[in-house]
Amino acid sequence: MEKVFSKIGEMTDNIREYINTRIEAVKIRTAEKVSALIANAMAGLVVVMVMFFFVLFAGTALSFVVGAWIGKTWAGFLIVAFIFLLAGIIIWTARGKLIRLPLMNAMIRQLTNEEDDEED
């Protein structure tokens, strides 16, 4: 009888150790996926900042070119500002298809990347 109780105790310890190991594996996997998601978000932020400065300087240059072509610098800036306003309105109205869905899909794809997962 004592032998049975010792085997049950040993089995209980093994099960407890297995569960703790699985919990640790899930924690590590979650931390890895979250850190990869944050790294990708930071890389995307850097790209967005570089593109912002490109658009800013290209818009300024285009404003001067249009202003020189028309003969009035202020009119060149006004025309380019209107073009940016139209682009902003178009992007705002289509933000679901252009921004929200691709961003959600990229995040889901990153979090459910099953190439790295090893299911037992």
Contact 79, 66 (CB under 8 A): yes
Cα–Cα distance for residue pair 75/111, rounded to 1 Å: 48
User: Going residue by residue through the chain (120 aa), what tens digit of pLDDT does each one get?
Assistant: 788 888 888 899 999 999 999 999 999 998 888 888 898 889 989 999 999 999 999 999 999 999 999 999 999 999 999 999 999 999 999 988 888 888 888 888 887 875 555 554
Q: What is the DSSP letter of 53?
A: H
Cα–Cα distance for residue pair 62/93, rounded to 1 Å: 25
Q: 41 Cβ partners below 8 Å, 6+ apart?
A: none
Domain boundaries, the chain: 2-111
Q: Where are the alpha helices (DSSP H) in the chain?
A: 2-70, 73-93, 95, 101-111
